[in-house]
Structure 1
């Protein structure tokens, strides 16, 4: 594949992601409610939560995320594109919220992948395969996809039950409740919730915060 063809394919995939997110938003009757503003001293960001981008970036996006959530899957390429467009300005912090039958199993899988240093490829494989394991308590297809992405499954199944992962899952659940997070994905940008749920409101708030930081 030529470089030009690759760029075109990536662009088309990004556009498709926007369309998918918009359709999910319009057609999904369980769209996340807009969260309340967050106080500066809240537990919005935990030091050991998964994060991407510069630690000192002027804008921090916090996403409460469920790997079994279809809207989270649709938003992933959108957020990834935003991060790529503003690599020095944005930091993304993921927080977990369990909403589906297979959610906790998938979260434990992802945290084991983080221990093995393969979090991103495994996350992308798990999201891509989501239709095959959505609401499966064992998340069997997610484990299969993770293995293809480089996860040592035998080791990961043991790691997934580590006390620190259990503590992180419970901590995120407590923080989500304290912050009034009821659905996923729920975004905060520099502590500010979206004025309304959707890809464009997220982009607009991110751009506004970037401009304020300059």
Structure 2
């Protein structure tokens, strides 16, 4: 999200089953709305939870339909239902994904693409190299977020503009 020519690249390592990622997402959207031409958001993955890789595969399949953001919104919105850590029910997510406008049957096929597994593996390797210890984790032009706080994120972005 955001132009390639943006002065600031914001990289977020997220886990779609992570409650903190879900809670922080509105702040990221607000920042992107505030700096639409100055910030490019790059989503990377760090899968901690049981259904995470499965949902990441859905997200990457949605990217092929240009529906990544819509599917992410649906996944986060319904996360309390499908991502319950004591009783996860990933099949529940499928019934809601139609709200995203994505072609569900195509998602199911495309999520099997071996290139998606490669993305997940590369993000995992990079997260280790970058010492990502939790999600969400942010890097602003390669600099780790100093403190996990929406205002600190906004301020650190402004410092790079």
- Normalised TM-score (structure 2): 0.93
Matched, 1:189 2:140: yes
Q: 2:106 corresponds to which residue?
A: 155
For 1:117, which of 60, 66, 69 is the aligned residue?
66
Aligned to 1:141: 92
Aligned to 2:50: 101
Decide which of 62, 69, 84 is 2:18's aligned counterpart. 69
1:49 matched residue in structure 2: none
Match of 1:178 in 2: 129
Contact in 1 for aligned 2:81/2:89 (Cα 8 Å)? no
Q: Once the 2 structures are TM-superposed, how far is the Cα of residue 99 of structure 1 from its aligned partner? A: 0.6
Runs of 5+ unmatched residues, structure 1: 1-51
* Residues 61, 91 of structure 1: 8 Å contact kept: yes
Contact 1:65–1:186 (Cα < 8 Å) also in 2: yes
Aligned residue for 1:73, secondary structure, equals helix
Gaps of 5+ in 2: none
RMSD: 1.3
Distance 1:107 1:138, change over 3 A: farther
**Helix, strand or coil: the match of 1:95?**
strand
Alignment of 1:206 with 2:161, yes or no, is: no
Which has more radius of gyration?
A: 1
For 1:166 and 1:195, how far apart are their aligned partners in 2?
31
